Amino acid sequence: MTGQVIEKNIYLQFNDFLSYLKDVKKSSDNTLQAYERDLSKFLEFARENSISSFEEVKVDTVARYKKHLADIGLSTSSVSRSLSALRSLFQYLLSSGTVEHNPAREIPNDKADKKGPQVLTAKEIELLLSQPSLNDLKGIRDKAMLELLYATGIKVTELINLNIDDVNLQLSFVRCVNKDKERFIPLYPLAVKSLLTYMEKARKILIIHMDEQSLFVNVSGERMTRQGFWKILKNYAQSAKIYKDITPHTLRHSFAAHLLENGADIHDIKEILGHSDISSTQRYAQFLKNKMKSSYMKYHPRA
């Protein structure tokens, strides 16, 4: 009976919040997925603790939930993100008159240690890019995606949104459109070769409809998804025995750090990455300074 009440109350209120984000706030699919992912942890916690509605949630409930997230191994930043999602949900419930206060506001986030961007070494990049097999269609496609991501530093959303007309292999560049802005990013020869192989040998077989515009498609012939690429990357990282916490953004970070490390102008990197503010790009310079200091302190005989 309790489970039925929880299903009726909490889940309906949760779905109302998602509908509000989608229909009123016009949130992106990525934002909706992030809220659903983070808040699902609280729904599970509510089920386990027989909480039938959000009206029952008090400050001590949120405090116990915060401790629960830490106990199951979530990082400080992940706990903070989940609490922020819960605060937003309660703010919506408060404005709609469902609850009388926002208990999540009483529980502060813990300060997370500031970490530099996760960057792969040049050797790790070579190892990762060598994983896809060129003996099958999927491997040819995956090789092209990984090469393109590291060649350009674009975001995974930008990667999967590329259309066939956004790539000019003759002039070796890719056109990246983001909202009302576009930028043209050069491609190194190996990336051009991988893309050419993919387009000539794999894509024309993978697509179902000849008028398909998506550059990268899945085995169903439809546009590649973020989740699909994420799984692909994780599998190759595992097969390469790279045990860092790799995400699609790791290749973007590595691209920027390696360019800067090899003498590229920081303003050029800013333009390639599409940063609106130079301060976003400068963190890579700070990362390299910290890396150099760490190496000095580790290897200098008197450090």
At 181, give phi and psi (nearest 5°): -115, 150
Whether 300 shows a pLDDT value over 60: the answer reads no
What is the mean pLDDT of the segment spanning 72-92? 89
Task: Tell me the per-residue pLDDT of 120-134, one tens digit each, with 9 for 90 and over.
Answer: 888 999 999 999 999
Question: Reduced to 3 states, what is the DSSP secondary structure of residue 183?
Answer: strand
Rounded to two decimals, the pTM is 0.61
| pLDDT number for residue 204 | 93
Q: Which two tokens stand for residue 56?
A: 């029952």
30 pLDDT higher than 90: no
Please give the Cα distance from 11 to 6 (Å, whole number).
7
Of residues 68, 138, 275, 291, which has the active-site annotation? 275
pLDDT tens string 248-274 = 888 888 888 888 888 878 888 888 888
The per-residue pLDDT of the chain, averaged, comes to: 86
Is 150 considered catalytic here? Answer: no
The residue from 179, 181, 298, 300 that is catalytic is: 179
Percent of the chain with pLDDT over 70: 87
Per-residue pLDDT, 163: 96
Q: Which of 4-13, 68-77, 78-87, 231-240 has the lowest mean pLDDT?
A: 4-13
Active site residue 267: no
Catalytic residue status for 236:
no
Q: Which of 17-21, 156-160, 286-290 has the lowest mean pLDDT?
A: 286-290
Angle between helices 278-299 and 266-273 (to 10 degrees): 120
- Please tell me the predicted confidence (pLDDT) of residue 147: 95
Domains of the chain: 2-106 (1.10.150.130), 122-298 (1.10.443.10)
The larger pLDDT score, comparing residue 278 to residue 291, is at 278
Most confident among 50-59, 104-113, 282-291 (mean pLDDT): 50-59
> Would you call 275 a catalytic residue per the annotation?
yes
Is pLDDT of 114 > 90?
A: no
Decide if pLDDT at 245 tops 50. yes
Burial classification of residue 30, based on how many CB atoms lie within 10 Å of its CB (0-12 exposed, 13-18 middle, 19 or more buried): exposed
CA distances from 296 to 71, 254, 260, 287, 301 (A): 36, 21, 19, 14, 9
Quote the pLDDT of residue 299. Answer: 55
Question: What's the whole-number mean pLDDT along residues 223-237?
Answer: 93
